[in-house]
Structure 1
Amino acid sequence: MTQVNEAKAFVEPSGEKERAGLGAWKVARTPYDHFMEAQGLPIYRGLGMYDIREIPKSPWKRMGGLGSFIQLDGTDGKLGMYAWELPPRSESTVERHLYEEVYYVFEGRGATEVWREGSDRKHTFEWQAGSLFAIPVNTNHRIINASSGPVVLVGGTTAPPIFNLFDNQQFIFDSDFAFNDRFDDSDDYFRPQDSIVADPLHERAMRVTNLIPDMATCELPLDNQRSPGYRRVIPQMANGRFYTFVGEHHSGRYSMAHHPPGPGSVVLICINGSGYTLAWPQSATIRPWETGNGESVMRQDYRPGGMVVNNPGGTGWFHMHHSTGKQPLRLLVFGGIPQGVGIQLRRQGETEVSGNLPIEIGGRSITYQAEDPFIREEYKRMLAVEGVEFDMPDWAYTGEVPTGHTLEISGP
């Protein structure tokens, strides 16, 4: 962001055949970029990573321990992430902030303390490897490593839009406003809730809870929208707007390719199993290898701790996920601010067709029948290397779409 006191004098065109200003320019650093740079940590960018434990980290003076910011392609402005490692028997700095924050634990065990500003009543809950939890917005909180080894976490936040909008760290970190609708201070606030309900808009599975102790291994409801046997749930946490869900593809199966409805990426974090993701621009067609555009396809392999973005080009990239391990591939999605917060792609009340439906009927997915033949050939080759059996059902390649309330309209 250019400050007014840094601006040059304006040069007005001398005539009607001359244009004012520049025809091209470098993308400017945002307030959130400046914040990350001032922390003195590495900033990891790109398509994704194989394992979060392998990326460089540096001492994090503000928070304690070691950290690295993660700003993968297409996430700028909507999602902030960081890898964080706390040494044994240590605790983080106390902080509070106006952005939302969700944590997933890769290694270690410990506890988190949460309390309102000006209150002596602390809520303490414990977590372990595989836990997912949310920090209520603008509450004081501290992370405690209670184990004899390091704790490795990944944090996801809505910090970028908050920093870029207000550009005032004193306001972001020192506001004393109490969001009572987000944190009611009840005794069972961080007690895990197992009940599954339908999310109000899409009627897919949702779990309203502020802590999930075993996100890596807990049972997920059957969904079937992304691949045969696909399982999925939305954790609705801390009454927040941070977009997240977790989905699971069977061993020996892979998802249909589809593209997101608009700009920006979400990050898919591997928390169980192993696999790889393919992504390519729509300009490479639905059959990139067959049309001679195979060089446009990007690939990211991962194991638990790895991650990948779904939309590395920023807008409209096809992507698909392949389970190659003997265990099902479970992916936790961090999306930051959701659709409709900042950018509304449709008018209120209009009908929006699910992107998981085929392109031919208004969705954004390439059916298995229509996909590039190389995709299945390469997948079978990778499974053979891993000693895993190809387990896709024959009907998936007939163009058959699973039945159900596929085109029923819900929501306001």
Structure 2
Amino acid sequence: MNAVVISVSLMLLLSFFRVNVVIALTISALVAGLFGGLDIQQTIDAFNNGLGGGAKIALSYALLGAFAVALSHSGLTTLISTTVIKRLGHAPATANIQKVRWILLAALLVMAMSSQNILPIHIAFIPILVPPLLHVMSKLSLDRRLVACVLTFGLVTTYMILPVGFGGIFLHDILLFNLNSNGLDAAREQIPAAMLIPALGMIAGLLFALLISYRNPRIYREELILAAEPEEKLSKKNIYIAIIAITTTLLIQLQTGSMIIGAMFGFMIFSLSGALKHVADQDVFTQGARMMANIGFIMIAAAGFAAVVKTTGEVSTLVASLGDFIGDNKPLAAFLMLVVGLLITMGIGSSFSTIPIIATIYVPLALNFDFSVPATIALVGTAAALGDAGSPASDSTLGPTAGLNADGQHDHIRDSVIPTFIHYNLPLLAFGWIAAMVL
């Protein structure tokens, strides 16, 4: 059996049975290398060489965590939560709670979508914005699995169809470039239109999560939230400092393109202004880094796993083997190409990194089966996007977990990975197949 299939299946199985994702990724990388024809030393070397690819993201998370904890001690988070909670006190209670729930979810969705284009900060806003809202979510008895689905939808669907910001990078710089580099004659205006039908699958998944799966209340322990997000005494000075720090962090990140530099300046503003004088700076930094440590290590291990998979060359072997199995069955060809894309992205954790790997073989295969240009676009684009939601190593699931698990009450696998996999990968697989058949 192919090393990619074995290693990704093993990684998902270990993660599901609560083996730490870092351990699961490391074990699966070793298995991928050995089954892919590498010896143990070659496997370890490939894994070690790939680790550096996740270091930047890991450091970004650590600094964002420190900034988020500093923000929680400023009093701004208390102001946000108490303001919203006071508004819940007006009758009729039930109707008002439902209204606030929908407003909160809509605001998070808009922020997630905006983070891909209007303010291209990607997942950097989640560890800062979401933890202060945990108090409010608790009062609303809001299921955090639904919040994870909302955030992931905004992060993924936006780059699939809007050619601006990260969407421009995904659709034009990566997808269009790799399609045409491998023999497809596609135009820029064809790309977003071809991805509309697959995006309908994402919308269907979101609606199912909102209206059916997670509409019932879910209770969380308030004392754990208070321990992670303490209700600080309100100080106008500290509130102004917090606003300045947030604005500075955002502006510097937009100017430099670096989450690391932006978060560092934001934390330094808190540190030098005296807003943290009631708590030691080192304690704040350590607490924030510890809060994000697991996320950072997952990103580092995922980069090592991806390097091993690429070194084995088993991705090309897996895709090439489809031709012998499919025969002349065009519907089966579309389905299996999507499934293979799901496997690859689930392991690597990045749809952006998947396209260059699969386009080289998918484009000739699609042309051989006489798929149209829009259908080929939909096939390759959907095959890459599949697995971004639902992968334990994807920032589209790690980002929501980083914010929602600030108090330790949101499990990465069971509360972020599995819900997003079910609600997005399954409908995306179905709608991607429909797009390939009708376009």
TM-score by length of 2: 0.22
Bigger share in helix: 2
Bigger share in strand: 1
Tell me: higher relative CO, structure 1 or 2? Use CA pairs within 8 A at least 6 residues apart. 2
TM-score by length of 1: 0.23
